[in-house]
Amino acid sequence: MRATDKPPEGSRDEHADQARDAAKDRRKRRRHMADRASVRRARRAADWGRRKYSGSWAEYLQQRLTGMDFLNQATLLAATLLLCAVPFMLITAALAGRSAVTALTERLGLNHQAATDVGDLFTSSSATTSAVTGLSWVFFLVAGMAAATSFQRLYQVAFGLRPRGVGDRLRALVWLAVVAGWIALGTSAAKAFYSAAPVLWWIVNVAAFIGFWWFTMWFLLAGRVPWRRLVPCAVATGLYWLGMLIVFHFVFSGMVIEYDQKYGPIGVVFALMSFFIAIGVVITLGAATGMTWHDRGMSWRAAARKLRRSSS
């Protein structure tokens, strides 16, 4: 028989290496083309986002928040609340015969361990009441006035208004008395109302929050901003406030317990500070959102029509 010719062993290895190199080159080209396609899609998406954002209500809101110095204002308000509003609320609740810690526990839905951690920071309401004597009353009123004027100043910055001296301070004092009555009424009636009708309690709270913040803005600004312009601000603030309470209802207990375990009693203060910062954010964001809604000529009817057009 005639033997068949076989290719040399080295030639076969060379062909195999060339085939692998060619396959690698093809894979590299495909990856390069896919990367370029991804970059083009990302650029198109970024261009589309910039076009949609430019001139939109979101850009207007961002400009409003920047002009209000959003984060600094919220932080300053939080610090004032911690230093001034907390002592005022503690004494007000104690004079009404109820612990402010109990009211905070019920409002935020703290569990037993978190309520104990918060309660360890404060004395009993009877001890608080007996300690309010002499100059303590002066410091009590000064602390309340400082908290009230901080709200007033924030709204003046938000609406671009100048302070007006004594008249503003008198309004802040009257508003403070209204808030003290609100706290006393809320701490005495809220628990029974919530136990009897929790759903109705939330509905009434939404309307109460909106009405309270509408009155607060209108009164502290001395009526210099028309009440119609304040309605969207009050609605936004009331809804943000309710959302904040719901969020803290679910997360605040864990936050208090975790911070207390990590840092001790000062950790509970850190948790309370985060709550006060959230209050500053809600108030500032609510005012900016309402002004954006009003200044852009937005309405629920227009939003519903736009939603129907986009869905059809």
Structure confidence at residue 8 as a pLDDT band (50, 70, 90):
low
| Lowest mean pLDDT across 88-92, 164-168, 183-187, 273-277 | 183-187
Burial class (CB within 10 angstroms; exposed 0-12, middle 13-18, buried 19+) of 239 = middle
Q: Is 27 helix (H, G, I), strand (E, B) or coil?
A: helix
Most confident by average pLDDT, 12-16, 67-71, 90-94: 67-71
Query: How many residues appear in the chain?
Result: 312
Average pLDDT of 6-10? 55
CA angle 270, 273, 277 (to 5 degrees): 140
**pLDDT at residue number 1:** 47
Say if residue 172's pLDDT is above 80. Answer: yes
Q: How far is CA 196 from CA 43, 148, 218, 237, in A?
A: 56, 33, 33, 27
**pLDDT at residue number 65:** 80
CA distance 277 to 75: 6
Q: What is the pLDDT of residues 279-293, one digit of tens each?
A: 989 998 998 888 888
Q: Nearest CA to 153 among 295, 276, 287, 272?
A: 287
Say if residue 180's pLDDT is above 90. Answer: no
Structure confidence at residue 228 as a pLDDT band (50, 70, 90):
confident
Here the tokens at position 302 are 């227009």
Q: What is the pLDDT of residues 26-74, one digit of tens each?
A: 777 777 777 777 777 777 776 676 666 676 777 878 887 887 778 888 8
Percent with pLDDT over 70 in the chain: 72
The model's pTM is 0.74
**pLDDT at residue number 213:** 92
DSSP 246-285: HHHHHHHHHHHHHHHHHHTHHHHHHHHHHHHHHHHHHHHH
Structure confidence at residue 214 as a pLDDT band (50, 70, 90):
very high
DSSP 98-123: S-HHHHHHHHHT--HHHHHHHHTTS-
CA distance 52 to 50: 5
- Higher per-residue pLDDT: 234 or 205: 234
Q: What is the pLDDT of residues 108-128, one digit of tens each?
A: 778 888 888 887 777 665 555
Here the tokens at position 50 are 């910039």
CA dihedral 240, 243, 244, 249 (to 10 degrees): 170
Whole-number mean pLDDT of the chain? 78
Structure-token match 């057009």, residue found: 309
**pLDDT at residue number 300:** 61
